[in-house]
Structure 1
Amino acid sequence: MVLSLISLCATEVVSDHSSSPCWLKWIPRELYRALLEAAFSSNRPLAVGELVQRWPERTLRVGRRKRGATSPNRLCIQALLLAVVRGLSDQRCVLQLLDLCGQQGDEGSPGDPMGGWSLTVALCTMVVQARTGAKRAQRKEGERERKRFSALQRHSDVKRERAELVENYRTSSSTVKSEEELKKGVRRRMEERKGEGPFADDGGTGMDYDDNDLDVLVHVRADLFVNARSWDRVRAALSAQGPLKLQCRYLRIEEISVSSIKTLLDLLPQQFLLGIDVRYSSLGVGGLAELLPRLSTFPALESLRLHYCNLDMRRDLHGQEEALRDLSQGLTQLHHLKCLSLTALRLPGQLRVLLSSLPQPLESLELPYLSLSPADLAYLSCSHHASTLQQLDLSENRLDETTLPSVRRLLSHASSSLQHLSLSGCGLSDHLLSLLLPSLGCCIALKSLALALNPLSMSGLMDLVKTAVRMHSLRQLLYPNPLEDYQPGLPDLPSSAQLLDWPLDDTTEINTTSTRLNRVLMENGRSDLLLTCDLLNYHNDLKDE
């Protein structure tokens, strides 16, 4: 990456903190953004704090990183949050919106970024502390105002008493008081009046302020990650009324009961939530049916993800039919939903109940580990969602010759829109793949294709790559290790779990498979196509392009 002259100069300026008192006084507001970016990239938390405390614009957005860029350092983020609180009392700071959406990085990755849970806790702590500090500042201001009022009242009383005494002295010639008696009279009357006025009964503690009277100075927008450990702190922050107001764009929830999720949704500002991700929470069909009416109150909600939430939709369970009707009715109210992700929810034969209820076609559909039946795939291939899908994940759903026609029909309908497809762990053998390759080749918009953990031989893998190089839009291919690369003992058609656990053969020449595949790329001039078999480190960065 080539840095501009401004970026190079900004990096040099923020590198020496001892010189900051000199340049901070003369920096124009147009250069604050470049300096802040340089402070983040150079891991200069002191410079970050000083710049944010004096931020000259109403909006500060941190977090939308370019592809390949690292997340800001944890210390820099902490310095930013502290500076926001200090800036509340700094007249040079005009900040009104702090946007940290997309900021959280991966815990433990290089550079020590702040993960989603840590950032959520830090934000909530900042909001609560700012509220407490604002109340303390309000009380101090009230105490100063009370003292000023008392001083003015005493001064007025002294002037009035002196005027009365002078008048009495002039009109009463028979009674002459000494100067000492006049002073005693003034002090006595002041002591008698002591305790009068609007602050007399406050016990000397200042005025008691109502939380509703505290105006919001800065709105803080972020993606929140809530679990059982952070639940109380998040609830306190969302309930607090003070100078900082917490807003949420994407909400991730883990291991929280249905009642707690309902409480959390009631506290969130409704106009900002775009997506909700619920994981490892035992919702059940009835619990999900209870949540859906609350989700419908968020007008911008476009993404719903449910992972390992213990949904078992078998018709033989008591009360299941009524729960399914409630669930279907709740889904009809999600008018703007574009992305639906369901993982390991045990939904065989029930896909029509879910998808037919949605009022508008989906753009992203993720259905891994759902044990989809032939009827499910047949419905999906003919549904109103098929022609609009941009992302489709059918990983770990077993495919065979009876379900393959439905998959081919689905790919045909989505051929002009589909950009990301995952069929990893679907049991695709060489024969099944040969039947599917013509349909894959017709997906003219496909950018990424994942086929890991399928039992392909080296011959089948070569056919896959030869088809991939003719797909001009394709940029990434996650391919499976061929069966020849494994140690002896695998069954003829191993499952994805067996392929994942079975050791590779150390006696085979290293990178032989990779060399043969890359030769196909070179022969076809496809240096822009990335081939990888690394399942654990595979990330679909093309989604952000």
Structure 2
Amino acid sequence: MDSLLFLCARRIVAHHPLPILPALPAHLYPILFQAAFLDGRPLVLRDLVAAWPFPVLNFQRLVGRRELLRDHPCKLCVQAVILAVVAQLRRQLEEPGHDASDLQAPLESLELAFCSLVPADLAFLSQSFHAPALKRLDLSGHDFSQGLLEPLRLLLEETSASLLHLDLMECRMADSHLDALLPTLRRCSRLRFLGLYGNSLSTAALKDLLQKTLELPDLHLVVYPFPVDCYKPEPPSESGWNFEEPVDEELLAAVNAEFSQMLVNSGRTDLVWTYNPYGHGTLDYFSL
């Protein structure tokens, strides 16, 4: 049963434009966002994002589970949020007579997992004043095997001095895509967390990643996918979903042991490499 506050929020978002938006207390924005998303109110979502009073808009946390992002019938709501963010970045880039010091505080955390971004979205973000300030970036669930890879690389270039947490889970990346990103990843000198679960990467590519990111002194946790050569009898499908393919447990254990030994030999026992995406207390934004 919905709370009284949520029921009131649903009544409010049923009207557009929101008559109370200019005087709305900041703490009510999240519940209005949730009500607008669940009730399929893309215009209200657009207005809420444009006036968002916080430096962080945690999209996935606001709307709940990933399944909701995939299955929600009103895809216009997802698109409305993305377009509103892009529009805000565009205004800030194009507004004459202003620089970054005149604008609102830059975003430090951006979570846009499973949101159907296009290359232009990442291009605008990489050119915005938010990019050099980003500490947490979650772009899980996008297809970086195609046209998004180069915009992602350029975005990581812009965030390399500040980025602490990077989530690229289930992004259809193969060895060649990771290889293209690796030089830029190595420049993310403050990186603490890297999530790659659900991508189609080989043991050799992962070993290369491990070896070349040992130089990142703050890297604490890497969540890697089951290597494609640990599957039997066939590697994962191009979808990036690995839940139905059988894993050779002995091969997987051997690979994990090899990674652990590489960490010991390099003196990086502080660095955790795991194929388990759960239960490791991945870094929360507020602990960054």
Q: Same fold (TM over 0.5)?
A: yes
- Which protein has greater RCO, CA pairs closer than 8 Å, 6+ apart? 2
Q: Kindly state the Cα deviation for residue 444 of structure 1 after the two structures are TM-superposed.
A: 1.2
Do the aligned partners of 2:132 and 2:162 also contact (CA within 8 Å) in 1?
Answer: yes
Q: How many Å separate the matches in 2 of 1:473 and 1:288?
A: 48
Are positions 1:309 and 2:33 aligned together?
A: no
Q: How many Å separate the matches in 2 of 1:389 and 1:291?
A: 30
Give the gaps of 5 or more residues in structure 1: 1-227, 236-255, 266-285, 314-319
Do the aligned partners of 1:340 and 1:364 also contact (CA within 8 Å) in 2?
Answer: yes
Q: 1:353 aligns with which of 84, 87, 92?
A: 84
Q: How many Å separate the matches in 1 of 2:28 and 2:135?
A: 18
Q: Kindly state the Cα deviation for residue 521 of structure 1 after the two structures are TM-superposed.
A: 0.9
Do the aligned partners of 1:302 and 1:338 also contact (CA within 8 Å) in 2?
Answer: no
Q: Could you say which residue in structure 1 is the equivalent of 2:129? A: 384
Q: Could you say which residue in structure 2 is the equivalent of 1:193? A: none
Q: How many Å separate the matches in 1 of 2:49 and 2:255?
A: 47
Q: Kindly state the Cα deviation for residue 509 of structure 1 after the two structures are TM-superposed.
A: 4.5
Q: 1:298 aligns with which of 8, 25, 34?
A: 25
- TM-score normalised over the length of structure 1: 0.42
Q: Could you say which residue in structure 2 is the equivalent of 1:454? A: 199
Q: Kindly state the Cα deviation for residue 537 of structure 1 after the two structures are TM-superposed.
A: 2.4
Q: Could you say which residue in structure 2 is the equivalent of 1:524? A: 266
- TM-score normalised over the length of structure 2: 0.76
Do the aligned partners of 2:50 and 2:84 also contact (CA within 8 Å) in 1?
Answer: no
Change in CA separation of 1:382 and 1:293 when aligned onto 2, cut-off 3 Å: farther
SS of equivalent residue, structure 1 residue 438: helix
Q: How many Å separate the matches in 2 of 1:292 and 1:460?
A: 54
Taking only aligned residues, the RMSD between alpha carbons, in angstroms, comes to 3.3
Q: Kindly state the Cα deviation for residue 533 of structure 1 after the two structures are TM-superposed.
A: 0.9
Q: Is the radius of gyration larger for structure 1 or structure 2? A: 1
Q: How does 1:334-373 map to 2 (within 5 A)?
A: 334=52, 336-343=53-60, 344=69, 346=75, 347-348=78-79, 351-357=82-88, 359-373=104-118
The one-character-per-residue Cα deviations of 1:258-281 (angstroms, maximum 9, x if unpaired) are x43257x9xxxxxxxxxxxxxxxx
Change in CA separation of 1:312 and 1:429 when aligned onto 2, cut-off 3 Å: farther
1:261 alignment partner AA = A
Aligned length: 258
Q: Kindly state the Cα deviation for residue 329 of structure 1 after the two structures are TM-superposed.
A: 4.3
1:424 alignment partner AA = M
Q: How does 1:34-433 map to 2 (within 5 A)?
A: 228=1, 231=3, 259-261=7-9, 293-294=20-21, 297-299=24-26, 309-310=37-38, 323=43, 327-334=45-52, 336-343=53-60, 344=69, 346=75, 347-348=78-79, 351-357=82-88, 359-433=104-178
Do the aligned partners of 1:393 and 1:421 also contact (CA within 8 Å) in 2?
Answer: yes
Q: How many Å separate the matches in 1 of 2:45 and 2:29?
A: 18
Q: 1:502 aligns with which of 221, 240, 245?
A: 245
Q: How many Å separate the matches in 2 of 1:332 and 1:302?
A: 11
Q: How many Å separate the matches in 2 of 1:478 and 1:410?
A: 21
1:478 alignment partner AA = V
Q: How many Å separate the matches in 2 of 1:466 and 1:292?
A: 56
Do the aligned partners of 1:296 and 1:333 also contact (CA within 8 Å) in 2?
Answer: no
The one-character-per-residue Cα deviations of 1:110-162 (angstroms, maximum 9, x if unpaired) are xxxxxxxxxxxxxxxxxxxxxxxxxxxxxxxxxxxxxxxxxxxxxxxxxxxxx
Q: Could you say which residue in structure 2 is the equivalent of 1:188? A: none
Change in CA separation of 1:349 and 1:333 when aligned onto 2, cut-off 3 Å: closer
Q: Could you say which residue in structure 2 is the equivalent of 1:69? A: none
SS of equivalent residue, structure 1 residue 392: strand
Change in CA separation of 1:312 and 1:432 when aligned onto 2, cut-off 3 Å: farther
Q: How many Å separate the matches in 1 of 2:171 and 2:23?
A: 34
Q: Tell me which moved more, 405-414 or 359-368.
A: 359-368
Change in CA separation of 1:295 and 1:436 when aligned onto 2, cut-off 3 Å: farther
2:272 alignment partner AA = L
Q: Could you say which residue in structure 1 is the equivalent of 2:179? A: 434
Change in CA separation of 1:431 and 1:337 when aligned onto 2, cut-off 3 Å: same
Are positions 1:445 and 2:187 aligned together?
A: no
Q: How many Å separate the matches in 2 of 1:488 and 1:340?
A: 42
Q: Could you say which residue in structure 1 is the equivalent of 2:208? A: 463
Do the aligned partners of 2:225 and 2:275 also contact (CA within 8 Å) in 1?
Answer: yes
Q: How many Å separate the matches in 2 of 1:531 and 1:288?
A: 49
Change in CA separation of 1:510 and 1:462 when aligned onto 2, cut-off 3 Å: closer
Q: Could you say which residue in structure 1 is the equivalent of 2:98? A: none
Q: Kindly state the Cα deviation for residue 312 of structure 1 after the two structures are TM-superposed.
A: 7.0
Q: Tell me which moved more, 410-419 or 351-360.
A: 351-360
Q: How many Å separate the matches in 1 of 2:147 and 2:164?
A: 25
The one-character-per-residue Cα deviations of 1:284-310 (angstroms, maximum 9, x if unpaired) are xx6596679559622578978759935
Q: Kindly state the Cα deviation for residue 503 of structure 1 after the two structures are TM-superposed.
A: 2.4
2:276 alignment partner AA = D
1:453 alignment partner AA = G
The one-character-per-residue Cα deviations of 1:309-346 (angstroms, maximum 9, x if unpaired) are 35879xxxxxx7xx3xx654443433x41111224274
Change in CA separation of 1:261 and 1:511 when aligned onto 2, cut-off 3 Å: same
Q: Could you say which residue in structure 2 is the equivalent of 1:515? A: 257
Q: How many Å separate the matches in 2 of 1:307 and 1:341?
A: 15
Q: Could you say which residue in structure 2 is the equivalent of 1:533? A: 275
Do the aligned partners of 2:145 and 2:174 also contact (CA within 8 Å) in 1?
Answer: no
2:201 alignment partner AA = L
Q: How many Å separate the matches in 1 of 2:23 and 2:240?
A: 38
